[in-house]
Amino acid sequence: MPPSSPPSTTALDGPRTLDVLASLDAQLGTVDPDARALVALTAGEGGSVALTDVELRDDGILEVPGDALGIVVVTSEDVRLDDADEVVSLRQLVAVLPDGTEVGIVRVGDDPQPRTWSTADPDTAGNDPPGSAEGLRPRDVTANTARRAFGLPSLAEVPPVEDLLARAWLLQAAEAGLSRFDSPDGPREVEPEELAHLDGADPLSGLCTTDPDTGEADRVPTWEEVRAAAARGELQLASYTVEPTHAAWLDADGFAQVVDRTLPSTEQLLGTLRIVGEDPLVGWAIGHIAERGWGRPV
């Protein structure tokens, strides 16, 4: 059953969108914190607003109806608010409108009382003070998928591209180590010398050149350059790939977020190296990352 709202057949503004969300929030009741969902808002009968299915394609692109008035996102994040040390859970219903306006109903931590916010006019958005909207806007992949469906910029905490270089190289090392660890005679310890062919290896398919004398990276590519290479189908991250169509659809920040969520963490990769080669192999890998100026993974 579509939620009711004030008549609106061509567009939604902040206050009317909040009415739609409030009606939907009442119908949904308690939502699982792990739930993630996307649904389009379209014009319904008699000036109402209807909920319409959207399609998330296998390549990660979200297709919405051409007459969509907005997209509702059901999502949850663990965040720190106002520089507090404590991490709290934000459970949200958020509407993203084609003009970039965002309106949300959020429950913070264990507080059952919902709060409201709007990027259009925080003063009229309900019970949060002006300026609170920016801190409450969701920064997860689901929300950014909704934004990109309207061609809007992603909102994400983007890691340094050096982090990608380190993880991509460690992934090469981990996969090479595993292939030697599982020998015909059973598992065996892999020595650093067996992976020496990876010294100075470019982890980004030609995007990161190295100085043949020092082994240090001459140049670190930008996230936009990495995204563009992926969109051309020229990026290979060991056994991991990004669909070129998805990379072309994303912006640099959204692409960085997807890659960050896709690749194993440095901790996981170092853990794999510890299994196949124990401390000597881990020490070799950490030293190599540090020498190339990509930081010291811990």
Quick one: tokens of 151? 């061609």
User: Tens digit of pLDDT per residue, the chain (298 long)?
Assistant: 333 333 344 578 878 888 899 888 888 766 666 778 999 999 888 778 889 999 999 999 999 999 999 999 998 877 766 555 677 777 889 999 999 999 999 888 777 788 899 998 655 444 554 446 787 899 999 999 999 999 999 999 999 999 999 999 999 999 999 999 988 888 999 999 999 999 888 888 778 765 555 555 557 889 999 999 999 999 988 888 889 999 999 999 999 999 999 999 999 999 999 999 999 999 999 999 998 888 755 4
User: What is d(CA 157, CA 170) in angstroms, rounded to the nearest whole number?
Assistant: 22
Quick one: tokens of 114? 């919902």
Which residues lie below 8 Å from residue 135, measured CB to CB, with a gap of 6+? 81, 82
Select from 71, 122, 123 the least CA-distant residue to 94. Answer: 71
Structure confidence at residue 10 (pLDDT) = 58
Q: Where are the beta strands (DSSP E) in the chain?
A: 37-43, 49-52, 55-56, 62-63, 70-80, 87-96, 102-108, 115-118, 182-183, 186-187
CA 270 vs. chain centroid, Å, equals 23
Domain ranges for the chain:
14-149, 161-291
Would you list the DSSP string of 38-71? EEEEEE-GGG-EEEE--EE-TTS-EE--TT--EE
> What are the CA-CA distances from residue 71 to residues 34, 50, 67, 95, 209 (Å)?
19, 11, 11, 5, 42
Structure confidence at residue 83 (pLDDT) = 58
Structure confidence at residue 209 (pLDDT) = 67
